[in-house]
Amino acid sequence: MQLFIEIYGFLNVTLRGFILTAQSLTLGGLAFLLLPAVAEARLGETARRRAERLIFWSALALCAGEALAAAALGFMLSGTLGLPAGELLGAEAVKIDLLASVLAGAVAFFISSRRDALPAAGLAGLFLLATQIGATHAASRLDHVAGLYVAEFAHMLGVAIWIGGIPYFLIALGAAQTGSRRYVAARFSMISAAGVAMLLGAGVYMAADYLGEPEALYGASYGVMLTAKAGLLLGLLLLGGMNFLTGRELRTDPRGSVSRLRRFAEVEIGVGLTALFCAASLTSLPPARDLPNDRASWNEVVERVEPRWPIRLESPDHASLSTSQPRMIDPGAPRAYAMGETAAPPRNAEDIAWSEYNHHWAGIFVLLMGLLALAEHDRRLAPIAKHWPLTFLGLAGFLFLRADEEVWPLGHLGLIESLRDPEIAQHRLMIVLIILFGLFEWRVRLGKLKAAWAPYVFPVTTAVAAAFLLTHSHGLANPKEEMLIEITHTPLALVGVAAGWARWLELRLDDGPARRIASLVWPVAFILAGLLLMFYREA
Amino acid sequence: MTMPRSYLYFLAVPLVFVADAAFAHAIVVASTPLPNETIAASETEVEVRFNSRVDRARSRLTLVGPGGASVVLPLADGAAETLKSRASGLEDGRYRILWQTLSVDGHITHGEISFQVKR
Ligand SMILES: [Cu+2]
C-alpha cells in the first residue's frame, strides 16, 4: 500500500494522459465521420470500416482507462482513510470516472452495431465529454464555474477534432483515389482549422482565469507548464501550416506526392500526444492564481537560467555532502503536500554543487554527441563521427559513479545492498538501459542491424523520454523551488521533443529540402540540450 | 522525491521513471489555528480553508496530541471549501492537525498544521 501511495501521483498523471489520448481518438473519429465537412461519398467503404474500427478500440481503451482511474482513486481513499467500499462509490470523482467509463462503453457498442447508430454514438460522445469536465479543475473551482465548464468542453472538443482527427485523416488519405486526395486534404484542413480555433479561444480564456496574472507564466509551475504546452502548440501549428501548403499544391497537381503530407501528420500525432500528456500533468497542479505567495520573480528566474561561465567541472568533496552529515530537522514545515510526497531531505551548498557538477558533465557528453552527429554530415569526418552513439557509454559510466552519492564506489552503501532502495535501483536500471540504447544505435549506424524498425528506436525513445520529462507529477511542499527547477528542465524537454521528431522526419521523408532540414535540426537540438545542461544551475 | 538529478537521464529513459512526488490540487488558503499559533485555552475551533471545493465525506481532520495519541475530529457542516471542527480538552503542549482532503475533481492532498497550547 505504501508503495501504491508513493507512485499514485505518477500513475495518475500517466493514466490521465492515456485517458485524454483515448478520448481524443474516440471523439476525433466521431467528428470525422459525422461532420458534414467530410463528404460522405468520398470516404470509401474500406476507409470507413477502418475508421470505425479505430473508434471502437479507442472507446474500449477509454472505457478501461476510466474504470482503472475510478479503481485507483477508490483504492487510494480506502488505503489512506480506511473507508468502506460503499462510501468510496459516493465520491464525486469516482462517480464521474465510472459514468465516463459507461459512456465510452456505449460509444463502442453503438459504433460496432448498425451503421445508423452513428448519430447515437456521437451523442454518447458528447455526453462523455460533458461528464469528463467533472475531472478537470473547472469542477472544483469556487467561482466562474460556468464559464470554465464551457471553456474546458470547447478546449477538449477542439483537441479531439484536430489532433484526434489526424489518424482518421491518414486513413482517408491512404484509401482515397489519386483524384479525391485533394478533397480529403482540403476538408480536413477545414475541420482542423475549426478545432484549432476552438482550442485556442477556450485555452486563452482558461489561461487567463487559472493564471490570475501574466507574471505567473514564468513565476509559477502552472504557468511554466502552460508555456511548454504553448510551445508544443506552436510546433503543431507550424506542422499543420506546412500540411496546409502541401494540400494546396495537391489541388494544382492531384498526382503530387502525398508522402510529405503523411510524414508531417505522423509527427503531428506524436507532438499532439506529448501535448496531451503535458495537459494531464497540468491538471495535477493547483492553478497559479491560488499560490500568489510562492512565485518566483523575473529576477530570480533570470538569475537561475542565465548562462554563466565557468561551468562546474570540479566536484565538491564527498565528505561534505549532507548524506555524510548528521540529519537535522527542518523547523519551517510547508503548508501542504501532494499525496505520497514527504518532506525533502535537507540540502546544503555542497549537495547543490554536486548536482550541478553532474549536470554540467552530462551536458558535455550530450554536447559532444550533438557535435559528432552534426559532423557526420561532412564526408571526411563521417568515418569517426558515425560512432557518436558510443558517447552514451561515457554518459552511463559517469552516471554510474555519480548519480547516487550514497552508493559504492563513493558512498557507504554496497552495490547489492543499495538495490533495495527503489530509487537507486531505478537509477541503476536506467544506466543499464542507457548502455543498451547506446550500443543498439551504434550498431544501427554501422549498418549491422538491418531490421526495418531498428532506426526508429532512437527517435521514438528520445521523444518519449522528453515527453516524460514534461509529464512528471508535481510536489507541493516547496512550489517556488520546484518551479525554478522546472524552468530549467522544461526547455530541455522541448528540445528533446524536437530532436526526436526531427530524426523521425529524416528517416521517413523522401529526399528533398525538408529531409535535409530535419537531418540538421536534431543534432542542433542535441547541442542545445547539452548547452542547457552545461549551464544548469540549482541555486 | 523531486530531485533534479533524476532528470539527468532524460535522454534514455522512456520506460523507467522516478516515482516523483505526486498529485496535487487542494492547497490550504487559510486556517484556524494558524500554523505555530499559541492558544491559551482548553478548546479551539479548527477550520482549514482550501482553494477548491472538497468532498467532505472523503476528507479528514486528525488531532495529534503532545503524547502522540491521535483522534479523528468529527466534521461540522460549513462552506464547500472548508473542513470545520472543534478540538476540546486540550492540555499544555504541542499539537498537530493532520488534514487529508479529496477535492471535487478527484485529487487527494494532505498536510499538517502545528500549534501550541499554553495556559
Ligand atoms: Cu485539480
Name residue A230's amino acid: A
Q: What are the residue ranges of helices labelled H in A283-421?
A: 298-305, 349-375, 382-385, 391-402, 415-418
Of A141, A429, A538, the CB nearest to B16: A429
Q: What is the pLDDT of residue B6?
A: 41
In 3D, which of A182, A315, A311 has the Cα closest to residue A247? A182
Specify the 3-state DSSP secondary structure of A480: helix
Residues in Cβ contact with A212 at an 8 Å cutoff, skipping those fewer than 6 apart: A287, A288, A289, A292
Q: What is the pLDDT of residue A434?
A: 81
Question: In this structure, are residues A50 and A171 in contact, taking their beta carbons and an 8 Å threshold?
Answer: yes
**Confidence tier at B17 by pLDDT (50, 70, 90):** very low
Q: What is the pLDDT of residue A80?
A: 79
The percentage of chain A sitting over the pLDDT mark of 90, rounded to a whole number, equals 13
Q: What is the pLDDT of residue A54?
A: 94
**Strand segments (E) across A235-364:** 337-338
| HSE, side-chain direction, 13 A CA sphere, residue B106 | 30
Q: What is the pLDDT of residue A24?
A: 92
Residues present in chain A in total: 539
* A202 vs A151: CA distance, rounded Å: 5
The domain spans of chain B are 28-117
The answer on pLDDT for B20 being more than 60 is: no
CB B66: neighbour CB atoms within 10 A?
A: 14
Q: What is the pLDDT of residue A28?
A: 92
**Confidence tier at A413 by pLDDT (50, 70, 90):** low
User: What is the distance in A from the centroid of ligand 1 to the CA of A234?
Assistant: 26
Convert the pLDDT of each residue in A7-24 to its tens digit.
Answer: 777 788 888 888 989 999
First to last CA, chain B: 40
Tell whether B96 is within 8 A of chain A (Cβ): no
Cα of B40 to nearest chain A Cα, Å: 22
User: What is the distance in A from the centroid of ligand 1 to the CA of A72?
Assistant: 16
Cross-chain Cβ contact A469/B10 below 8 Å: yes
Specify the 3-state DSSP secondary structure of B22: strand
Burial class (CB in 10 A: 0-12, 13-18, 19+), A130: middle
Q: Looking at the DSSP assignment, which residues form a beta bridge with residue A241?
A: none
In 3D, which of A141, A131, A157, A140 has the Cα closest to residue A66? A131
Residues in Cβ contact with A427 at an 8 Å cutoff, skipping those fewer than 6 apart: A399, A403, A404, B6, B9, B18
The domain spans of chain A are 1-290, 298-324+348-535
Question: In this structure, are residues A373 and A385 in contact, taking their beta carbons and an 8 Å threshold?
Answer: yes
Instruction: Specify the higher pLDDT residue, B91 or A322.
Output: B91
**Confidence tier at A62 by pLDDT (50, 70, 90):** very high
ipTM field: 0.74
Question: In this structure, are residues A217 and A205 in contact, taking their beta carbons and an 8 Å threshold?
Answer: no
* A61 vs A64: CA distance, rounded Å: 5
Q: Which of A33-37, A62-66, A131-135, A184-188 has the lowest mean pLDDT?
A: A33-37
Cα of B9 to nearest chain A Cα, Å: 7
* A447 vs A156: CA distance, rounded Å: 44
Q: What is the pLDDT of residue A30?
A: 92
Question: In this structure, are residues A280 and B18 in contact, taking their beta carbons and an 8 Å threshold?
Answer: no
The answer on pLDDT for A179 being more than 90 is: no
CA dihedral A226, A229, A234, A237 (to 10 degrees): -130
Question: In this structure, are residues A409 and B14 in contact, taking their beta carbons and an 8 Å threshold?
Answer: no
Question: Phi and psi dihedrals of B114, rounded to 5?
Answer: -105, 140
Cross-chain Cβ contact A395/B53 below 8 Å: no
B-chain residues near A338 (CB < 8 A): 21-24, 109
Q: What is the pLDDT of residue A319?
A: 66
Cross-chain Cβ contact A492/B20 below 8 Å: no
Q: Which residues of A61-97 are buried (b: 16+ CB within 10 A; e: fewer)?
A: bbbbbbbbbbebbbebbeebbebeeebbeebbbbebb
Specify the 3-state DSSP secondary structure of A475: coil
Convert the pLDDT of each residue in A92-142 to its tens digit.
Answer: 888 889 999 999 999 999 998 877 788 899 999 999 998 888 777 777 777
Q: Looking at the DSSP assignment, which residues form a beta bridge with residue B62?
A: B72, B98
Residues in Cβ contact with A368 at an 8 Å cutoff, skipping those fewer than 6 apart: A388, A391, A530
* B13 vs A488: CA distance, rounded Å: 18
Average pLDDT (B10-36) is 54
Cross-chain Cβ contact B13/A433 below 8 Å: yes
Sheet containing B44-50: order of strands: B28-32, B44-50, B82-87
Average pLDDT (A329-352) is 59
Instruction: Specify the higher pLDDT residue, A255 or A39.
Output: A255
Convert the pLDDT of each residue in A256-300 to its tens digit.
Answer: 667 788 888 889 889 988 888 888 877 777 777 777 777 777 777
Q: What is the pLDDT of residue A388?
A: 84
* A345 vs A338: CA distance, rounded Å: 16
Question: In this structure, are residues B25 and B109 in contact, taking their beta carbons and an 8 Å threshold?
Answer: yes
* DSSP secondary structure letters along B70-98: EEEEPPBP--TTEEEEEE-S--SEEEEEE
Instruction: Specify the higher pLDDT residue, A1 or A195.
Output: A195
Strands B108-117 and B38-39: parallel
| Residue A48 per-residue DSSP state | H
In 3D, which of A155, A149, A113 has the Cα closest to residue A131? A149
Convert the pLDDT of each residue in A349-406 to its tens digit.
Answer: 777 777 777 788 888 888 888 999 898 888 888 788 888 888 888 888 877 777 666 6
* A233 vs A249: CA distance, rounded Å: 24
Question: Phi and psi dihedrals of A137, rounded to 5?
Answer: -55, -35
User: What is the distance in A from the centroid of ligand 1 to the CA of A50?
Assistant: 36
Question: Phi and psi dihedrals of A470, rounded to 5?
Answer: -80, -30
* Residue matched to cell numbers 529576477: A299
* DSSP secondary structure letters along A119-147: HHHHHHHHHHHHHHGGGSHHHH-SSSHHH
User: What is the distance in A from the centroid of ligand 1 to the CA of A235?
Assistant: 27
Q: What is the pLDDT of residue B1?
A: 31
Q: What is the mean pLDDT of chain A?
A: 80
A-chain residues near B103 (CB < 8 A): 140
Average pLDDT (A30-55) is 78
Cα of A469 to nearest chain B Cα, Å: 7
CB A454: neighbour CB atoms within 10 A?
A: 14
| Residue A284 per-residue DSSP state | T
In 3D, which of A351, A291, A331 has the Cα closest to residue A482? A291
The answer on pLDDT for A304 being more than 90 is: no
Convert the pLDDT of each residue in A448-492 to its tens digit.
Answer: 888 888 888 888 888 888 887 777 656 666 667 777 777 777 888
Tell whether B30 is within 8 A of chain A (Cβ): no
Which set of grid coordinates corresponds to residue A344? 525533502
Burial class (CB in 10 A: 0-12, 13-18, 19+), A328: exposed
Which set of grid coordinates corresponds to residue A38? 467530410
User: What is the distance in A from the centroid of ligand 1 to the CA of B61?
Assistant: 20
Of B5, B58, B111, the CB nearest to A335: B111
Q: What is the mean pLDDT of chain B?
A: 74
Stretch 49-88 of chain B: residues touching chain A, C-beta under 8 Å:
51-55, 57-58, 60, 80-81
Tell whether A432 is within 8 A of chain B (Cβ): no
Q: Whole-model pTM above 0.90? A: no
Q: Looking at the DSSP assignment, which residues form a beta bridge with residue B38?
A: B116
In 3D, which of A228, A233, A167 has the Cα closest to residue A196? A233
* Fold for the domain defined by B28-117: Immunoglobulin-like (2.60.40)
* B102 vs B86: CA distance, rounded Å: 20
* Segment holding B100, helix H or strand E: strand B93-102
The answer on pLDDT for A151 being more than 80 is: yes
In 3D, which of A497, A489, A495, A488 has the Cα closest to residue A472? A489
